[in-house]
Amino acid sequence: MRVKTLGSTTLDREDLDRGAEPDNGYYIQNQPLVAGRAIDLAVDPPPDLVVEVDINHTDIDKNALYAAMGVPEFWRFNGKVWRIYDLRDGEYGECDRSPTFPMVSKDDLYQFLTTCQADEVATEINFRTWFRSQINKP
């Protein structure tokens, strides 16, 4: 799977008069369109997936902002609850599984988040191994 990771890049568009800096953004389906170059949201599609760990309250309505940008999938964790949203008719609806990675449930994310607190590197290795086994299932 080819993925372009944005890291904590500021996502903004002049027409929205506001931007956001997610913890990470990923081009997955649209990776071939943006590979090897800087992203310009005035001409490029939005990331396919945006992830935010939102422990501190902000006055920016991130759901509305990312929906206006057209981000198809948004994951949000507030320190206790993990929410997965997919864009439907211009608004986010909450779902139990990732639309991009249907083999990943919220329960799976909680499990890996818990183990990550003890050992981030081992958790990442285990998650990648687990994920590969899931996508290679018949």
Q: What does the alpha-carbon distance between residue 103 and residue 132 come to, in Å, rounded to a whole number?
A: 10
Is residue 48 within 8 A of residue 27, CB to CB? The reply is: yes
Give mean pLDDT, residues 4-22: 70
Sequence-ordered alpha helix ranges (H) in the chain = 31-34, 62-69, 106-116, 120-135
Q: What does the alpha-carbon distance between residue 111 and residue 109 come to, in Å, rounded to a whole number?
A: 5
DSSP 131: H
Q: What does the alpha-carbon distance between residue 83 and residue 77 come to, in Å, rounded to a whole number?
A: 6
Reported confidence tier of residue 18, pLDDT bands at 50, 70, 90: low
Q: What does the alpha-carbon distance between residue 27 and residue 47 come to, in Å, rounded to a whole number?
A: 5
The pLDDT of residue 88 is 94
4-38 exposure pattern, b = at least 16 Cβ within 10 A, e = fewer: bebeebebbbeeeeeebebebbbbbebbeebeeee
In tens, the pLDDT along 60-116 reads 788 888 898 899 999 998 888 889 999 999 999 999 888 988 888 888 888 888 888
Give mean pLDDT, residues 6-34: 78
Reported confidence tier of residue 6, pLDDT bands at 50, 70, 90: confident
In tens, the pLDDT along 31-65 reads 999 998 888 888 899 999 998 887 776 667 888 88
Higher pLDDT, 18 or 110: 110
- Stated pTM of the model: 0.81
Q: What are 25's two structure tokens?
A: 């953004």
21 has a pLDDT exceeding 90: no
Of 32, 36, 99, nearest in space to 72 by CA: 99
